[in-house]
A and B are shown apart, each in its own frame.
Chain A
Amino acid sequence: MRYRVFLAGWLVVVWLALWRDLSLANLVSGVAVATATIFVFPPPGDRGRLIVRPLALLRFFGTALWAIVRANIVVAWEVVTPANQINEGVVAVNLHANHPTVITLVSHAIGLAPGTMVIDVEDQPDGSARMYVHVLHLREIEDVRREVLDLERLALAAVAGRATTEEGAA
């Protein structure tokens, strides 16, 4: 339920932004349209309920934003320096959760972090997910795994309900 309110709030913000004029009439009409949209197209909730914790979510987004800045300094350095020191690698990481939203959040954070990118995610037969991460500078495989699992921990703290903290799908 809180998740739907969160989504509806985001729709209201987009509505206000597109109308450009932050007046009361726009706010009321925005809330009406957002609520109607959430009713007509409810978000798919069959993979387990999500609980949105705003503070943990903000912390996750803050980590992601700081990762963008770090990543771009690294990329700028890479592009400008003439020497080619790239040793790429693809590392497999076993995630704990199998909920699509958690996997999406972790994939975005990895995509914005320096030197890492998600190539594929596979469902394992025991219900968990296996994520293949492509790394630009591979030094230690375990470091990459630790970084990904840290991100996953932050994401779970932000949106996990009871269903996602158990092994396997709800």
Chain B
Amino acid sequence: MTDLRPGTFTPRPGPAPVGRMLRAQTSFELRLLIRNGEQLLLALVIPIAALIGLSIITLIALPEPRVATVFAGVVVLAVLSTGFTSLAISTAFDRRYAVTKRLIGAGVPRRALLAGKSAAVGCVVAGQVVVLGVIAVLLGWRPTGVTLLALPIIGLGAAVFTGLGLLLGGLLKAELVLALANLLWIVQIALGGVVAPLTSAPGWLATLGAATPAGALSSALHAVLTAGTAPSAASLLVLLAWGVAGWAATLQWFKWQ
């Protein structure tokens, strides 16, 4: 056995700098995600398949060039999957298995815990945008000057979904979160104009869809990426409202056990 000389356990406690905790936690979450097939499927495989499939197969009528229309929707899909569904489920199971409690017990401040999870989402979303962007270009999509506007909008969308994902994952039981996060994923894709832009839906449905976070993000991104125009103020306001509400509720009610 390794020798345990006197003084081996002499106390020298203290918290690490918050930056180090955050880096460690973010890289931990990213490594787990890369190893988790299910999450990888949700984050990359499904959006890539959708991007390629919907661009090439012309079963659904879409404004031309198809890839420009599809790309905006697929980015929404990717951000929704990572920021909301995956995050809610993994957070709920972290709570179930006392992982969050373990880290809080090790001195990680509650807000640093939320920040670490958010940073991991940010890294994944950045990766998704790069991969999907490259594939879209290969499929014939041509970015313009306006395209750059999409980056802050995607950032805002990721922040909104992260707030909502943490809220859902931080409030309810793991099984319930698993069911709800997947249900809300499908509902938002259907209502939010993720596949076909909302403009092609009946009036009342378009209004309802535009009020969902995915619908607002989808409308803003379709404006920038498909039409090459500025996003509507309404879509940005809806996103902001969901973001403020989601984060305020998360900071107030997030439970770590």
Tell me, yes or no, whether A binds B: no
| B interface residues, Cβ below 8 angstroms from A | none
| A interface residues, Cβ below 8 angstroms from B | none
